[in-house]
Amino acid sequence: MFVIFKYSHGYPKFASIRLFNMATSVLLPPTEKVKGLKELNRKLFEKTVLVPSLHLDKSTVSKAIPIIKKYLLKLENFKAVQPCNSDVTIYLNPDKVKHWTCISEEDSSQLYSLGVSNNNLKFEDITLTYNNYTYDIILKSVLPGDNDGLSSFTKIGHILHVNLREHLLPYKKLIGEVLLEKVKNCKSVVNKLDMIDNTYRNFEMEILSGEDNMQTSVKENGCLFEFDFSTVYWNSRLCTEHERIIEIVKSNDLFIDVFAGVGPFSIPIAKKGCYVHANDLNPESYRWLNHNMKINKVKEDYIKTYNKDGKDFIKTEVKNILMKNINNYNIHIVMNLPALAVEFVPHFVGLLKENTLEIIKPPVLYVYCFAKGSETNTDFTAIAKTSVIKNIGFDISDKIINIFEVRTVSNFKKMMRVSLKLDKDILIGTTENLKRKRDDIEQDTQKILKCENGEEKTQ
């Protein structure tokens, strides 16, 4: 099991977890009788197996354990070291110890010095039950092996969120029940029904198991976020990206969040003493954004919130903010709406055309987008760059600071961040490029795309 986020006590408040690293001995998984189960039958998981064990005197155990620790049998709800009458039985992993010579020469020598030898090694039957298996072993054993299985899930507070592919839907009841029982602090298991394609970026869900309670809380980057998971957008996999941007923005900078959601960028940045303008079209996101301001004790002097369409927000509020503050602050503008953000970039072109000031401190715009390819050697950086250039309408290669891969969505889809300077060519529109014909722009973007096939290299 691979847990992405760094927490020390059990599961974090939210986590993205990948399944199926078969850490348990290959001799010990459930029997084939459980393959294809659609209703959970715990009795079918019972299995009797022959495992090696050491029988030691109680006085020897504390000295022997450090030596044989790597050979112990590790199972859910199973103690590898168990008292038995006058001595102690230590159960070993049958994959690692099939006979005494499987123990390394160095380790067996140390054991021998304690009076432990081949004579102490026995083989005995133990009965394993459903309680001895982790959720990943159970699901790996039950789900069909001819298609992709359930490879990961996301935990948001007490809610565990899965995306089940069509071939797994007949097993959804069992999957929900197993995860609810086996994942610590889980109270609800939900499955996403539709893609996130509506105005407010939330999606329909069905409850597979547990409580019908979608109001949850998550702690991230030193802040507590509360929200209703069924009405707002939250992606736990973006925790590290939130942290990156928070680190980039310094105290007394000015930060503009065009698609703020419930505040994962804006709240921590305001708390560090930056001036924040946070907007979201979804009235529920706006409500929870303001709620999270209060529970995190963010001073109103440092944050102002808006409930507007992104285009209107840029054309009115962002324009006014830049007119008043450009050159006075380091300004950062974030557009984290990867499915659509590039379509909002053109609204910055000529935004300050009435401004007669020289732009000494160009604002930095962080545009998130999805880059989709079709081959394993796809150049996702070139695709992201081309997408931004094509939407803005002229070549801005010299204004791009960097293009960063945020996360892998699938083998042929990545989430990217394009950072660029909003200089006078863009904001005031002084460049001749703005007058170029659409066909010339299209030809330029096609040239950049050739970089994906190695025909041409562009930044």
Ordered domains of the chain (ranges, CATH) = 2-25+135-213 (3.30.300.110), 47-128 (3.30.70.980), 234-453 (3.40.50.150)
Binding-site positions read 242, 280-281, 309-310, 336
Is the pLDDT assigned to residue 147 strictly greater than 70?
A: no
> What pLDDT is recorded for position 46?
95
Is the pLDDT assigned to residue 12 strictly greater than 70?
A: no
> What pLDDT is recorded for position 438?
44
pLDDT in tens, 46-78: 999 999 999 999 999 999 999 999 999 999 999
> What pLDDT is recorded for position 429?
80
140-149 average pLDDT score: 79
* C-alpha to C-alpha distance for 367 and 409, rounded to whole angstroms: 17
**Average pLDDT of the chain, as a whole number:** 87
Q: Tell me the CA distances in angstroms from 340 to 133, 329, 387, one per residue in order.
A: 43, 28, 11
pTM of the full predicted structure? 0.81
Is the pLDDT assigned to residue 439 strictly greater than 90?
A: no
pLDDT in tens, 351-379: 999 877 889 999 999 999 999 988 778 89
pLDDT in tens, 83-142: 988 899 999 999 999 999 999 999 999 999 999 999 999 999 999 999 999 999 999 999
Binding-site positions for S-adenosyl-L-methionine read 242, 280-281, 309-310, 336
Is the pLDDT assigned to residue 167 strictly greater than 70?
A: yes
Is the pLDDT assigned to residue 332 strictly greater than 80?
A: yes
pLDDT in tens, 215-229: 999 999 999 999 999
